[in-house]
Amino acid sequence: MRKELFRGLYVDHSKQVFSYLFGRTGNKDTAADLLQDIFLKVWNRIEVVELIPDKERLYWIFSIASNRLTDYYRRSSNKKNIEEKLRIRNDYSTGDISGLLAGREQFRELESQINQLPEELRSILLMKVLGGMNSSQIGNALNQPPGTIRYKMVMARRKLAEKLELLETESIEGRRKPIG
């Protein structure tokens, strides 16, 4: 019974957790190592998992992932290597090479700006985008109300848009509006 439960959790959630870890570390090997540690903790606490309602198990796993990342960063002697830039490794045999290079440059700029967001906002943004989680799920994983998560998501997107210069200031109202 416990093996089936664990296997189901791994099959159902490992891709989401890996995407979140990879988005936070920028390194596939590091993300894979952390994923292994996280699911080892899940296995070691499988009797606790049995008591958690099915719908809340993913949040519990993400809270372990969040805590494990905090520990990892704390122990890491060289955080810069952990946050090295993602590489696009798509092999394009046809197409416009200048367009490909421009796309890669835009991706690098986006990644760089995401990495400069405050830790909490970056974490929430990556859980949403890479983990595919909604505000309720993220809130459960981080012990915060969904409304707070939605607010912080707006803040993360706004800061990112400002850094990427996608917002302009209206001189009369002093409010920001999207360009285009």
Q: Cite the DSSP H helix spans in the chain.
A: 2-25, 28-44, 46-51, 57-75, 79-82, 97-115, 119-129, 135-142, 146-163
Coil vs helix vs strand at 178: strand
Distance separating alpha carbons of residues 93 and 24, to the nearest angstrom? 30
Distance separating alpha carbons of residues 131 and 19, to the nearest angstrom? 6
From first to last of the 180 residues of the chain, give the pLDDT tens digit: 788 999 999 999 999 899 888 888 888 999 999 999 999 999 999 998 889 888 888 888 988 998 888 888 777 644 444 344 333 333 444 445 555 566 667 777 777 788 888 888 888 888 888 777 888 888 888 888 989 999 998 998 888 888 877 655 443 445 455 555
Structural domains in the chain, sorted by start? 1-84 (1.10.1740), 98-180 (1.10.10.10)
